[in-house]
């Protein structure tokens, strides 16, 4: 009888243990939160290099969060177009979005300091410097959203692409109609600004309505401009202005994330700021390679002529700094911020070799030869 009772007790204890174990597993299952699902708007085509890197950024966040964050990417402006991006993210139409500051003129005055001509050697370097600038100053003009990444390119005034006659000296700018990224720089050099949407530039150059376009060499391939811009002058001086691209997140959505997920996304954003800048470097090289493949003529400025252009471009810095003092900033504030930005550019220039990054001009010279 005692042996039967002991056996019964063992069976009962095993049953109770099994019930507790199963219950615990069920509770564990129920305690796992549902994945946080985010939407991500890109306005460039899915085939664009920047879109591919931004899509990788989204995938990396999913990976690092072990699937706790899931991001649905909407390509080619299917959710938000470029001009509507900033306001669309602010209003929650999408949770995350990628765009550039020029689509919202006047919205980011202090940020323009990090877009002024600086001695950058690569998109990787200037992008990391931009990130440091934004993190240090936290410009209030971004208070309605949360910044995830920022990037620029190291060759934003590097390729002067002309349809019929090249620009080889400072005097050649006079009387030429140019579609620029930086209108004030073209004006300082003596050119005439003609603003056109990117989609219209190919036809305008082809028909002679526009003499040329100046900016990165990236559009020579991505927009096939080298097919009609048969004379390309390389301005490789380290005094390149830039335009800031950004990934931003809806502020309320960001604030709703747990701190550990915020840290993971922040770490990924810092890393991908540099990667996105390196993507611009790669595309600048690809643009020159494409121009050579379609037999466009490529010219390099003499050192003396390069100095003349650099001196003319330097006048833009003073004008932009002065303009900022009319927007509520003191001269001391803007000068200190610009000096900080330049110091970070120099720092990241010095970090290129350690990170296996080759200065962009070195890469371009290998292609041009």
- What is the CATH class of 33-151+243-281? alpha beta
Q: How far apart are CA 186 and CA 212, in angstroms?
A: 11
Q: Name the residue with tokens 């620009």.
A: 167
Neighbours of 225 (CB within 10 A): 28
Neighbours of 234 (CB within 10 A): 20
Q: How far apart are CA 60 and CA 300, in angstroms?
A: 40
Token pair, residue 77, equals 């402006």
192-193 vs 177-180, strand pairing mode: parallel
96-100 vs 245-250, strand pairing mode: antiparallel
Cα–Cα nearest to 73, from 53, 88, 102? 53
Please tell me the predicted confidence (pLDDT) of residue 199: 83
Strands (E), 196-342: 212-215, 231-234, 245-250, 297-300
Please tell me the predicted confidence (pLDDT) of residue 240: 86
Token pair, residue 37, equals 């699902």
From edge to edge, which strands make up the β-sheet containing 212-215? Answer: 192-193, 177-180, 212-215, 159-162, 231-234, 297-300
Architecture category of domain 159-241+296-368 in CATH: 3-Layer(aba) Sandwich (3.40)
Please tell me the predicted confidence (pLDDT) of residue 239: 78
By mean pLDDT, which of 4-18, 122-136, 145-159, 259-273 is the weakest?
4-18
Distance of CA 320 to the CA centre of its chain: 22
Token pair, residue 60, equals 């990396």
Mean pLDDT of the chain: 91
Cβ 154 vs Cβ 282: under 8 Å: no
Q: Where are the domains of the chain?
A: 33-151+243-281, 159-241+296-368
Q: Residue 26, SS3?
A: helix
Provide the Cα torsion 222, 72, 86, 47; round to 10°: 0
Q: How far apart are CA 210 and CA 196, in angstroms?
A: 9
Please tell me the predicted confidence (pLDDT) of residue 8: 53
What is the pTM (predicted TM-score) of this model?
Answer: 0.88
Q: Which residues pair with 250 in a beta bridge?
A: 145
pLDDT tens for residues 263-282?
Answer: 999 999 999 999 999 999 99
Q: How far apart are CA 160 and CA 233, in angstroms?
A: 5
Cβ 231 vs Cβ 82: under 8 Å: no
By mean pLDDT, which of 18-22, 73-77, 78-82, 218-222 is the weakest?
18-22
- DSSP-derived secondary structure for 191-218: -EE----HHHHHHHHHHTSS-EEEE-ST
Q: How far apart are CA 285 and CA 281, in angstroms?
A: 6
Task: Tell me whether domains 33-151+243-281 and 159-241+296-368 share a fold.
Answer: yes
- pLDDT-derived band at 9, boundaries 50, 70, 90: low
Q: What is the largest CA-CA distance in the chain?
A: 114
Angle at 217 between CA 215 and CA 223, to 5 degrees: 95
């Amino acid at each position: 009888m005692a042996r039967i009772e002991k056996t019964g007790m063992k069976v009962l204890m095993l049953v109770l243990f099994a019930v507790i174990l199963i219950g615990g597993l069920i509770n564990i299952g129920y305690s796992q939160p549902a994945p946080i699902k985010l939407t991500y708007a890109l306005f460039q085509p899915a085939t664009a290099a920047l879109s591919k890197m931004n899509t990788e950024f989204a995938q990396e966040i999913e990976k690092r969060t072990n699937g706790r964050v899931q991001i649905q990417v909407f390509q080619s402006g299917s959710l938000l177009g470029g001009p509507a991006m900033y306001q669309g993210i602010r209003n929650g139409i999408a949770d995350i979005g990628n765009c550039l500051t020029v689509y919202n003129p006047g919205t980011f005055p202090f940020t323009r300091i990090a877009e002024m001509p600086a001695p950058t050697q690569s998109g990787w370097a200037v992008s990391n410097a931009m990130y440091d600038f934004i993190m240090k100053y936290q410009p209030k003009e971004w208070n309605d959203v949360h910044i995830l990444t920022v990037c620029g390119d190291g060759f934003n005034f590097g390729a002067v692409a002309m349809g019929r006659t090249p620009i080889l000296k400072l005097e050649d700018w006079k009387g030429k109609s140019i579609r620029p990224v930086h209108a004030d720089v073209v004006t300082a050099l003596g050119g005439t600004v003609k603003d056109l949407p990117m989609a219209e530039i190919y036809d305008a150059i082809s028909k002679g309505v526009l003499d040329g376009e100046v900016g990165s060499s990236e559009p020579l391939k991505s927009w096939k401009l080298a097919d009609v811009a048969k004379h390309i002058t390389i301005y490789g001086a380290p005094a390149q202005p830039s335009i800031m691209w950004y990934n931003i997140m809806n502020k309320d959505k960001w604030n709703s994330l747990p701190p550990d997920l915020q840290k993971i996304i922040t770490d990924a954003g810092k890393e991908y700021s540099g990667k996105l800048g390196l993507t611009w470097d790669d595309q600048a090289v690809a643009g020159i390679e494409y121009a050579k493949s379609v037999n466009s003529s490529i010219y390099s400025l003499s050192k003396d002529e390069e100095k003349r252009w650099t001196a003319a471009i330097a006048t833009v810095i003073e004008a932009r700094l002065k303009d900022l003092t009319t927007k509520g900033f003191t001269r001391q504030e803007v000068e200190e911020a610009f000096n900080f930005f330049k110091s970070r550019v120099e720092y990241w220039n010095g970090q290129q070799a350690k990170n296996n990054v080759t200065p962009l001009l070195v890469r371009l010279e290998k292609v041009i030869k």
